[in-house]
Amino acid sequence: MSEKKSPRVLVLRTAGTNCDEETAFAFRSFGAKADLVHINRLFEGTARLSDYHILAIPGGFTYGDDIVSGRILANELRLRLGDDIQDFIKARKLIIGICNGFQALVRSGILPGDLGVKSQGEASFQQTVTLTYNESGKFEDRWTYLRLSGKSVWTKGLEDVIYIPVAHAEGKFVPRDDKLLNKLKKNGQVAFRYCDEQGNPAAYPGNPNGSIDDIAGITDKTGRVLGLMPHPERHFIFEHHPRWTRFEKKESFGQGAQIFKNGVQYVKEKLLA
Amino acid sequence: MIWRVEIKEKEGVFDALGERIKKDIIDLGLTSVSQVHIVYVYTIVGDISESQIKQIGRELLADSVTQEYTCFSPEAYIFPLSKKNIKIVEIAHNPGVMDPVEESTIKGIRDLGIPTVKAVRTAKQYHLKGPISDEDLEFVVQKALANKLIHHVVIPENVFPTEKEIVANGQACKVLTFDLLEADQKRLTQISEDGQLFLNLNEMKAIQKYFRKLKRNPTDCELEAIAQTWSEHCYHKTFRGNIRYSCTEKGQTKTKNIRNLLKSTIVKVTQTLDKPWCVSVFHDNAGVIKFDKDTNVCFKVETHNHPSALEPFGGANTGIGGVIRDILGTGLGAKPVCNTDVFCFAPPEYSFKDLPTGTLHPKRVMKGVVSGVRDYGNKMGIPTVNGAVLFDERFVGNPLVYCGTVGVIPAGKEKKKVRKGDVIVVAGGKTGRDGIHGATFSSGELTSESEVVSSGAVQIGDPIQEKKVLDVLLEARDQGMYSAITDCGAGGLSSAVGEMGEELGARVDLEKVPLKYQGLNYDEIWISESQERMVMSASKKNAEKLLALFEQENVEATVIGEFTGSKRLELFYHGEQVCDLEMSFMHDGIPNITKEARWAPPKSREPEISCPKDLTSNLLSVLSHYNVCSKEWIIRQYDHEVQGGSIIKPLVGVDNDGPSDASVVLPKLGTKKGIAISNGVNVRYGMIDPFWMAASCIDEAIRQIVAVGGNPDRIALLDNFCWGNPDKPDRLGGLVRCAQGCHDFALGYGTPFISGKDSLYNEYAEDGKSIAIPSTILISAIGIMDDVTKSVTMDFKKAGNLIYVVGQTYDELGGSIYYDTKDALGMQVPHVDVKQGRKTFQALFAATQKGLARSIHDCSEGGIAVALAEMAFSGGLGVTALLKDVPYEGKNKRNDSVLFSESNSRFVVEVAPEKQKQFEKLLSEVPYGVIGRVEESPEFVIYGLDDKVCVNAYIDDLKKAWQKPLQF
């Protein structure tokens, strides 16, 4: 495949981003060309979002999670790159935000996006849900089972229950109100819920942060913009599984890999074909 | 204009952070607190309108879903008063203390299109509900909410500081020289003490002699620079000096003179072994070994004990930040790939009334240290994959905080060279009054006055600043923009520039160093230990490009001087020369001293304990011992999976909660070659004999790597001594003995030392009485693994598999956990037989490479009993085992000695019955026994030497006993 025909992924970096390399590695493993791009390059115009098919906002502690997690990056996305991101979404391109990336997408209002429930005078990017402090009051790194729902291009072909780790202090999903939550559910915008091994609702630590309705990840209405707190790039190879030494049968990929494969596949089929 | 914006959770929103504070307060024994709410306060200075401040509140400071904001001008604000059932207290950072949130908030405000913001201050207001007296409140503030070294309680009149107070905080500069030429002995000592130089009389005399030759008095800056260079922390006087060592064994005393303890023990091992894969050892910030054909790995462990004693969060925070910078400054800069942390504290239930004056409670120290490491490690995006925590009462005034980092560096980039005419570039954080005298402060004992006298030595880190530096640095390295680099650690610029310019000499214009605030004296600029700074040497041609590259990612980088070729250290401040010293005097002028050292075995005996018929409750007590019990509460707060290279995690097993031996990490994604990281540390053995402590720690670090499938022939070690005052002969005697142990056993195992560190003067003095810490050696090990997919974990895998004990058990309960649960120490400390140990390690390595072992766990604290119990409950499977089949040697053979003896070089191994023959073939030269079987039923049953059941428990109960003690 020629360079030109490769799906191109922009892995966004700024001060405090730290899951950029493994996220890029995950996309590259399925044939994408992934660039680590500092946000300053987008501001100056030496890199352009429109040259890419996928925008990935990886995990980390952008700007130290100062004030609240993802807030300063969210304002940069909203105020300085808002139009470019609108155009990117309109062009049917893909966005994924993982952990801190999800926090930024939510605080900028890119997720869950315009639900047609905004009050008069509200800007198109308006925060309607949040990811707030874990009920445990502390950062925790632990593995969680996730039950799949919705119909996002990102989650096609995933098993009903997948096993992926979280590592955050601010991951408790809270919607503005019940009306909004119902709208999300009705639209099929809930992508992942924390659950137990069998897929049933689970209390702490199954739901590691106290998220309302056990929500771990959501999409916009189109399913092309996905945000999730768990880290699929950390269950990318088989040996990432915390119990891989207990399994007799070895596989090459972990249960998070399909998400990256889906993104690359979508670009190949829908945007490059 | 000055505004105050208050942020709080909306009515009905769960205040998770408030709840956590409540838990901390209840932990202090104050159960009357029913609820805690936190109000986040931002004081914002600048030409900002009311509508703008509201925009700041709405779009930046408050989360619109869960929080609300209120803006106040000074006229409109009334400080809320405490009422009967609600106490209110506001806590803010002291001026000059690092608060990264302030800088981020300024950026956030500017991003909103409001460039007129000048300064931001943050504070937290706590609302405590419940019947709390004023005395209770004072207690809570002191013990849980604030540390007076970095915080103060805001009084209502000072809620709005003046703009001047916020924007500028410094004093005017003054120039000083010391009259050294005419000083008598008393005066010399006084100058050293007054200046917190920690130079002894001999050293002061050497300095006096030097300046008499120059026929002038030194400036304050010159004295500071010499004190820093000659400090124990930077020069390692004890290890490099002469020692007269007398050792009493079996009634005979032998005396010998040791010249340079470091060279004659630690370094000698490496020179003798001369491994071709040792790339760069002992002379750089970290030791470097070969990884694969185009990559090397480096490893360094540092200590940050004294700062952590005074401000646990900040001390540990800057400890980990500092060792990461060591890695960034190794060769031309390495990329950190994982961290390891080992702590020693006093027990968490230590009574408040017994606390020595001026010390913090161990539980608070522990929580603070863990938070400090979490904050820095997680924010840097470096997984913390390994560690240990030990407890002993004598760590009460002086905890130990070891922080280590592993890095990867392209082959060939481990060499650096400073060239004549290169400019000196400092990049990263600005310089403030932080950590003045840190290097000299850590070279003396702590006292109850340390918190007053040395408060400048306390700092808070800014991990995002360091992450920004790291990101650019690796890019600049790959583009070849600089030819040498080092970090600013202890001693600040003085140490960094002094070391880099040792051969050539350097000139620095101190006014060019970017400052956090005006008013620093030139000598403060020179020795400040402000964090997150790196120093580089670049050609004039490259310097401009280098500065531009840093600027691209908003990192400040500045040319501050030049490496001259004059072989002098020349410092200027606004054109006036403030320091002119010969580099040779700085680095070689220190007078050689001879210290006295004495060692004799302690007067301890084997305790007379009868062996109970049923040892179940003994096993439960050993599992609940603080040193043995689960550290999950700590481990989960660390991100141990970032960077995507986590192969064997610190927690393993069917419920992801069993204690892994070594951790295995893939430094290069998409490959199979990995590294294993482990540590060996045991202070109780050192109380009997530091020689055998060293032996056991080396054995433990190696066998943990072997237990996960590592190759015993590709292991490198780091030594890390934390000791009491080396000027006291008994302390130094133990140190010598420990260093000799390091030499003998590292040599015996063929494992070279590649780097090390010593932290001495770990004592806490009160009322003229000095408490020394238990002498501690930490051995950290790094192993190279060719194929990580052959790794083995410690959890039992399958019912019906055979259980082996590999390696000989001896009657060695001295220093054991079993004895400690009976308040005894004993004398029969575990020894090491390297010949036998090597054979065992080789056999097990072969077994893992052939896929013959389903699980392996090393026997360490708690012996075979703890190893078996941990393997059982981690695997969710039961055990039947017979003690009579354990290979044992010793006159005294009893159920308790077989179960709990802590003999070295032993493993418990699980093998499938169909692999039995193949496995035993590998053990032809190694003592072993098939002692039992893994069972489906969750029962843990051990038959004693008389074939009667001596331990009978459910694995869940064993697990509970093991998990409970440190589940905060």
Do A75 and B111 make contact, defined as CB atoms within 8 angstroms?
yes
3-state percent breakdown (helix, strand, coil) of chain B, nearest 5:
35, 25, 35
Check: CB of residue B204 under 8 Å from CB of residue B192.
yes
Do A234 and B59 make contact, defined as CB atoms within 8 angstroms?
no
First to last CA, chain B: 45
Check: CB of residue A164 under 8 Å from CB of residue A143.
yes
Please list the active-site residues of A: 99, 231, 233
Tokens of A255: 């249960």
Instruction: Compute the nearest-CA separation of B343 from chain A (Å).
Output: 20
- Judged by CB atoms within 8 Å, which residues 90-129 of A form the interface with B? 107, 127-129
Q: Select the residue of A21, A64, A137 nearest B464 (Cβ to Cβ).
A: A64
Do A75 and B379 make contact, defined as CB atoms within 8 angstroms?
no
- In chain A, which residue's Cα lies nearest the Cα of B968? A136
CATH 3.30.1280.10 fits domain B2-167 = yes
Rounded to whole angstroms, the Cα distance separating B321 from B462 reads 8
Do A61 and B378 make contact, defined as CB atoms within 8 angstroms?
yes
- In chain A, which residue's Cα lies nearest the Cα of B788? A239
Check: CB of residue B465 under 8 Å from CB of residue B318.
no
Rounded to whole angstroms, the Cα distance separating B824 from B606 reads 8
Which candidate in B233, B306, B361, B743 is catalytic? B233
- In chain B, which residue's Cα lies nearest the Cα of A134? B16
Please tell me whether residue A86 adopts helix, strand or coil conformation.
Answer: helix
Check: CB of residue A51 under 8 Å from CB of residue A76.
no
Question: What secondary structure letter does DSSP report for B591?
Answer: P
Residue A144 in contact with partner chain B when CB distance is under 8 A: no
Angular region, A61: left φ>0, alpha ψ -120 to 50, beta rest: beta
Query: Domain spanning A3-135+170-190+219-271: which superfamily?
Result: Class I glutamine amidotransferase (GATase) domain (3.40.50.880)
Chain B residue numbers with beta carbons less than 8 Å from the beta carbon of A44 are: none
Instruction: Compute the nearest-CA separation of B111 from chain A (Å).
Output: 7
Mutate to test the interface with B, among A23, A65, A67, A211 (most CBs of B within 10 A): A67
Mean pLDDT of each 10-residue bin along chain B, 968 residues long: 95 93 88 94 96 96 96 92 90 84 95 94 95 91 87 87 59 70 92 88 93 92 90 86 93 94 96 97 93 97 92 93 96 97 96 87 95 96 97 95 98 95 96 72 59 59 96 97 94 92 95 86 89 96 97 97 96 92 92 92 90 97 98 96 97 97 96 97 97 98 98 98 95 97 98 95 84 94 97 98 98 97 96 98 98 98 98 98 97 96 98 98 97 98 97 98 93
Do B652 and A243 make contact, defined as CB atoms within 8 angstroms?
yes
**A138: pLDDT strictly greater than 90:** yes
pTM of the model: 0.95
Q: Specify the pLDDT at position A120.
A: 45
Map out the domains of chain A as residue ranges.
3-135+170-190+219-271
pLDDT range class, residue A1, cuts 50, 70, 90:
very low
Residue A15 in contact with partner chain B when CB distance is under 8 A: yes
Chain A to chain B Cβ contacts (< 8 Å): 182
| Closest to B425 (Cα-Cα) out of B309, B280, B344, B545 | B545
Question: What secondary structure letter does DSSP report for A253?
Answer: B
Rounded to whole angstroms, the Cα distance separating A223 from B318 reads 43
Check: CB of residue B403 under 8 Å from CB of residue B720.
no
Map out the domains of chain B as residue ranges.
2-167, 178-217, 792-968
Tokens of B847: 């077994």
Please tell me whether residue B403 adopts helix, strand or coil conformation.
Answer: strand
Rounded to whole angstroms, the Cα distance separating B936 from B953 reads 14
Q: Specify the pLDDT at position B926.
A: 97
Do B105 and A67 make contact, defined as CB atoms within 8 angstroms?
yes
CATH number listed for the domain at residues B792-968: 3.90.650.10
Tokens of B223: 């004295």
CA dihedral B781, B911, B892, B390 (to 10 degrees): 30
Q: Specify the pLDDT at position A126.
A: 87
Is B152 noted as a catalytic residue in this protein? no
Q: What phi and psi values does residue B634 have, to the nearest 5 degrees? A: -80, -50
Peptide bond into B752 cis (omega under 30): no
Alpha helices in chain A (DSSP H): 20-28, 39-44, 71-75, 82-90, 100-107, 178-186, 257-266
Which candidate in B37, B93, B151, B304 is catalytic? B304
Longest dimension (CA), chain B: 87
| B442 Cβ contact partners less than 8 Å away, ≥ 6 residues apart | B231, B232, B233, B305, B306, B307, B457, B490, B759, B761
| Closest to B708 (Cα-Cα) out of B836, B902, B841, B870 | B841
Q: Specify the pLDDT at position B170.
A: 46
Distances (CA, A) of B178 to B121, B191, B207, B220: 39, 8, 12, 7
Place of tokens 């997919």: B789
Rounded to whole angstroms, the Cα distance separating B45 from B453 reads 32
DSSP letters for B304-368:
-HHHHHH-HHHHHHHHHHHHHHHHHTSTT--EEEEEEEEEEE--TT--GGGSPTTPPPHHHHHHH
Place of tokens 């290890």: B239
- In chain A, which residue's Cα lies nearest the Cα of B637? A140
ipTM (interface pTM): 0.95
Q: Specify the pLDDT at position B521.
A: 85
- Backbone Cα Rg of chain A: 17
Residue A204 in contact with partner chain B when CB distance is under 8 A: no
Tokens of B566: 């004059």
Per CATH, B2-167 and B792-968 having the same topology is answered: no
**A78: pLDDT strictly greater than 70:** yes
Q: Specify the pLDDT at position B723.
A: 96
| Closest to A257 (Cα-Cα) out of A184, A156, A124, A150 | A156
Rounded to whole angstroms, the Cα distance separating B584 from B569 reads 10
Q: Specify the pLDDT at position B115.
A: 96
The CB-based long-range contact list for A80-85 (8 Å cut-off, 24+ gap) reads A80/A43, A80/B111, A81/A39, A81/A42, A81/A43, A81/A49, A82/A125, A84/A42, A84/A48, A84/A49, A84/A50, A85/A49, A85/A55, A85/A110
Q: Which residues pair with B125 in a beta bridge?
A: B39, B90
DSSP letters for B728-797:
SHHHHHHHHHHHHHHHHHHHHHT--EEEEEEE---EEEETTEEEEPPPEEEEEEEEEES-GGG---SS--
Query: Burial of B633 by CB count in 10 Å (0-12 exposed, 13-18 middle, 19+ buried)?
Result: middle
Check: CB of residue B955 under 8 Å from CB of residue B880.
no
Instruction: Compute the nearest-CA separation of A178 from chain B (Å).
Output: 12
Q: Specify the pLDDT at position B442.
A: 59
**A119: pLDDT strictly greater than 80:** no
CA B59 remoteness from chain centre: 39
The pairing of beta strand A94-98 with beta strand A54-57: parallel
The pairing of beta strand B287-292 with beta strand B949-954: unpaired
pLDDT range class, residue A82, cuts 50, 70, 90:
very high
DSSP H/E element including B473: helix B463-478
Please tell me whether residue B447 adopts helix, strand or coil conformation.
Answer: strand
| Closest to A266 (Cα-Cα) out of A153, A165, A109 | A153
- In chain A, which residue's Cα lies nearest the Cα of B40? A67
CA angle B941, B944, B949 (to 5 degrees): 45
Do A64 and B379 make contact, defined as CB atoms within 8 angstroms?
yes
Rounded to whole angstroms, the Cα distance separating B813 from B898 reads 9
Rounded to whole angstroms, the Cα distance separating B811 from B892 reads 6
Place of tokens 């905004």: A118
